[in-house]
Structure 1
């Protein structure tokens, strides 16, 4: 099984990630929200260069708010604003063209929330990154809705669904977060993600910036 890690608390030595058997990192290209101090938000070019130099993959992900301050709660306009930040950090870190940027739906929303806030948020995201590069971090139910509405094309599945029966690999998913806060590398908490497709958004399949 091919696995990646994602983490935000602190940077982890790239060689330690590789030695632990992982093939890469899903990185946060967002600021730390007020009151937090995440050492791995955002990832910078020097760190991404070190990951890539030893053959580790990088995938671009974004999350600023959480819970009551979730990014998607701002609807379309928030999608535009947050996507601009994500693109800026992605590019500054050396992220290539033609790669998805995964937007956050770190929740188990209702269909009403999906229709009124999240789908508009993803349309705003698409207006910045391009419809073909919209990724979403979401549970299986939201992946179904995103496919139905045509608002995303790349899917990183999480298991915050409220129903364990929904937590198997979604057929549309590219990545699946299978463990949260149960593992560590060099004392830093990590989440573990399985790779479900050959192309899951990794930078190595992108087009180098000109």
Structure 2
């Protein structure tokens, strides 16, 4: 099983990632929110170049707020605003065109929040990055809702569902985060995700390599 890691507490040397047996990183292309200091948010060009030189994959993910300040609470306008930042940081780091950008739903929302805030948030996100490149980090229930509403095409599944019965690999998920803070590399805590599809948003699969 091919596996990727995500992390924000500090940068991890590419050779340490390789030695630990991982194929690459799901990177954060967002600023650190006020009151926090995450040295790996956002990833910058020099680090991304070193990852790629080592043969490691990169996937673009975004998360600025959390909980009461979750990005999706901004609805359509928030989605467009955050996507503009994500796209700018993606390109500044050397990210290619025509790759998905995963938007954050780091929650277990109910249907009202989905209908009133999250689906509009993803439509706003799509207005900037394109519907075909709109990805979302969310639980299996939200993947179903996103498919029903047609608001995302790429899915990074997490297990914040409140229902272990639906925490298996969703058939439409491209990635599945299976561990959070269970291990570390060079003293940096990591999360671990399984790769479920041949194309899961990795930069190396881009057709536009600007």
1:13 lines up with 2:16 in the alignment: no
* CA-to-aligned-CA distance 1:54-77 (integer Å, 9 cap, x gap): 100000000000000000001000
C-alpha RMSD of matched pairs (Å): 0.6
Aligned-partner SS, 1:58: strand
Using structure 1 for the length normalisation, give the TM-score: 0.99
- After superposition, where does 1:97-116 map in structure 2 within 5 Å? 97-116=97-116
1:53 lines up with 2:53 in the alignment: yes
**Whole-angstrom distance in 2 between the partners of 1:117 and 1:18:** 39
Question: What's the CA shift for 1:208?
Answer: 3.8
Aligned-partner SS, 1:22: coil
* Unaligned runs of at least 5 residues, structure 2: none
Residue equivalent to 1:137: 137
1:155 lines up with 2:155 in the alignment: yes
**Whole-angstrom distance in 1 between the partners of 2:130 and 2:209:** 16
**Whole-angstrom distance in 2 between the partners of 1:9 and 1:147:** 33
Matched pairs, number: 210
**Whole-angstrom distance in 2 between the partners of 1:206 and 1:36:** 33
1:66 lines up with 2:66 in the alignment: yes
Aligned-partner SS, 1:136: strand
**Whole-angstrom distance in 2 between the partners of 1:36 and 1:119:** 28
Residue equivalent to 2:35: 35
**Whole-angstrom distance in 2 between the partners of 1:209 and 1:13:** 24
**Whole-angstrom distance in 2 between the partners of 1:10 and 1:67:** 22
**Whole-angstrom distance in 2 between the partners of 1:177 and 1:209:** 27
Using structure 2 for the length normalisation, give the TM-score: 0.99
Aligned-partner SS, 1:36: coil
